[in-house]
A and B are shown apart, each in its own frame.
Chain A
Amino acid sequence: MASDVSLRNRPIEGPFALTLRSGNSDHLHCLNAAADQRGLHRGMPLADARAICPDLSTRPADLAREGAALASLRRWASRYAPMVASDGTDGLIADITGVAHLFGGEGDLRADLHARLARAGLQASSAIAGTRGGAHALARHGGGIIADGALAQGLGGLPVSALRIDHDTAEALARVGLARIADLAHLPRAPLARRFGAGLVLRLDQALGVQAEPVAAEPDMPHFGVRMTLPDPIGLQSDVMAGLSRLLDRLCAKLALHRMGARRVRLELRRVDRGTVQVEIGLARPMRDPARIAALFAKGVDEIDAGFGIDALRLTAPVTEPLAPEQIGGGPDARQQDALADFLSSTGNRIGFDRVLRLLPAESLIPERSFLLAPAAYSAPEPGSLRHGPARPALIFPPEPVEAASGSPPTSFRWRRMRFTTLRAQGPERIAPEWWFDDPAWRSGMRDYWRVETREGPRLWLFHTPQSPEWRIQGEFP
């Protein structure tokens, strides 16, 4: 399936395979029919495959994309049955109990499925059987339909490896001459379980329908997106805002239903000339209040170019976070929190959320790493940073060199083209670099910090690096 998906995006003629690096060599991960006919098979080393078939074209496999493709195929396959689950990395299993007649019987259903998949460019093999294990086994060994009650006969001819057992068990079974499922089916269960483990018996029972095995379809993640198409194109800002507020009402109702709040909201507008424009806003905290979100869109909607008109709107919340229901119209404290969050959202949308910062304490004795400048929208204030230990300046800046320093601590020096004379100095306070963290600014070794009061007024934070003698200024006390 993965090779078909890759070929759908960028078609290539001839034998084709996806390769996956395991250990220190590439192996074939998935191949198309042309490559299959040339005698290649899955798991073969790439070097061997190239020797057999020199014109093989390959691409590296992308497992994440493969999973996403299978998930979207699973969503599509729910047109056939209410319960569809993914089965391994490249299979789907659907419980079609009671739905086959809607497609004209099992044979027609299977033909319809294959026709649609072939039109989409996907090669598939499928099987319909009375049990999940039976369908799994048959689909991987030719496919077909096993009629009701004929499960044992239908599966009997398949090799034992079709039973979802591990490789060692399959090999051990082959060694004692049990090659096909029919050989196993009539054997007494107890000695079989004692010799080959309970797993084999379980899989056999599941395939033959003695043991029940339901199709566990994973629940779909709710999709937070709403859209609206308009009979006539619109172009006025007020019309777009009106459409937006209707969409927001629906989106926020959906968010409230799932107890989520949006962190980013994206509005896509399709123009009549098929162009799209997009307005995206961020929120300083999860929110599902239509009026407050709409206010943040005002500036973005003001700036868009409507062209010849807009005929479709789509509103999605790409990033959501859990948001429990809360008391609306709370006390003044809650209102103040809301107003502050609105303020942070609006400034973040204008100057960027990475420029709206908050100071957070950090565990380090290095002055510049003793606090963090964290985005305010993605952090909470941490109260209780007590002042303890030696005094620290209120303002800190990257170290700046001191010129014409004389003495230790310097009795006079020049800094930023100003002359200073030391009145009194406190220190030294020695700070050693963090050896586990290679910081270019600390390559000059340990530092002796001094608080220097100057005759001219400013109280400065100087340091001396004894390992490469030099004086620098890093901060200013109030």
Chain B
Amino acid sequence: MRPEPAPSDPFDLRKARVHEAEGRGRRAFALLQAARHLGPLVWILPGHVPEVPMLRGLPQGVGDRLHLLRPASEADLLWCMEESLRAAPVGLVIAEPEKPLSLTAGRRLQLAAEKGRTTGLVLIRQDAGSPATETRWHCEAMAGPVADSTLHDWSLKKNKKGTLGHWVVNWDGTSAAFTLVPKVGERRQPAEPAY
């Protein structure tokens, strides 16, 4: 098997795997990922969730590629997710299950993702992750020091094939472009004591 190319930037999700994001800012993380993936996008929201994406507020080029599935039950949601991961043309599948995924369900989703060569992103409640996930992100919105800065505090809490990390990102939600913000008062190299 060919080795997979190393991710070029920290937020590249590994292809053909299912990832997880938690925290209050998880939908913003999902939107950035939607803007970064090519091809049709599928967002699976339970039918009773009040929040829906608003067309004019979505990043550039996401709105016309987005398909919204609103299944009525949890079983239908998992079925939809598996089916859309298996569908070859889909670029990214975002799903918001209500209950924690079992190991079996998580594993089935990984197999479906490998079969369809599709990337999946599961937006989970806090600490409701599945052990089968490839990476798990914790996402929070962060107050910015100046106006015009829309900061996000994204940390990688679990990574099966790499290191963990923590980033503060300035992403304004209009396109796929973002800037990494070094922490205030933090140096690139640890400062040596002068004596």
For chain B, the count of residues having a C-beta within 8 Å of the partner chain is 52
Contact B31 A394 (CB under 8 A): yes
Contact A478 B68 (CB under 8 A): no
Contact B66 A359 (CB under 8 A): yes
**CA distance in complex: A387, B57 (Å):** 7
Which residues in A have some Cβ–Cβ distance to B below 8 Å?
336-337, 339-340, 342-344, 346-347, 350-351, 355-361, 367, 370-371, 373, 376, 381-385, 387, 391-398, 423-424, 426, 453-459, 475-478
- A392 with B80: in contact, given A358-B66, A477-B150 (CB under 8 Å)? no
> B99 in the interface, Cβ–Cβ < 8 Å?
no
| Min C-beta distance of B145 to chain A, whole Å | 10
Contact B68 A359 (CB under 8 A): yes
> B12 in the interface, Cβ–Cβ < 8 Å?
no
Q: In the complex, what residue of chain B is closest to A390 when comparing beta carbons?
A: B56
Main secondary structure of the interface of A (DSSP, over half): mixed
Residues of chain B within 8 A (CB-CB) of A384 are 64
Contact A457 B143 (CB under 8 A): yes
Which residues in B have some Cβ–Cβ distance to A below 8 Å?
24-25, 27-28, 31-32, 39-40, 47, 50-60, 63-72, 76, 79-80, 83-84, 87-90, 140-144, 147, 150, 152-153, 171-174
Contact A355 B64 (CB under 8 A): no
Total cross-chain contacts (CB, 8 A): 151
**CA distance in complex: A72, B28 (Å):** 60
Sorted from nearest, which 9 A-B pairs have the closest CB atoms? A478-B173, A371-B55, A478-B28, A457-B141, A392-B57, A343-B87, A397-B50, A396-B54, A394-B57
Contact B24 A458 (CB under 8 A): yes
Contact A395 B57 (CB under 8 A): yes
Contact B87 A385 (CB under 8 A): no
Q: In the complex, what residue of chain B is closest to A426 when comparing beta carbons?
A: B147
- A457 with B64: in contact, given A351-B71, A371-B55 (CB under 8 Å)? no
- A395 with B54: in contact, given A339-B89, A381-B64 (CB under 8 Å)? yes
**CA distance in complex: A361, B63 (Å):** 9
- A355 with B72: in contact, given A343-B90, A475-B57 (CB under 8 Å)? yes
Q: Contact check: which of A346, A371, A423 meets B83 at CB < 8 Å?
A: A346
- A355 with B71: in contact, given A343-B89, A347-B80 (CB under 8 Å)? yes
| Min C-beta distance of B116 to chain A, whole Å | 10
Contact B143 A453 (CB under 8 A): yes
**CA distance in complex: A405, B138 (Å):** 30
| Min C-beta distance of B98 to chain A, whole Å | 15
Contact A355 B51 (CB under 8 A): no
Contact B56 A392 (CB under 8 A): yes
Q: In the complex, what residue of chain B is closest to A337 when comparing beta carbons?
A: B89
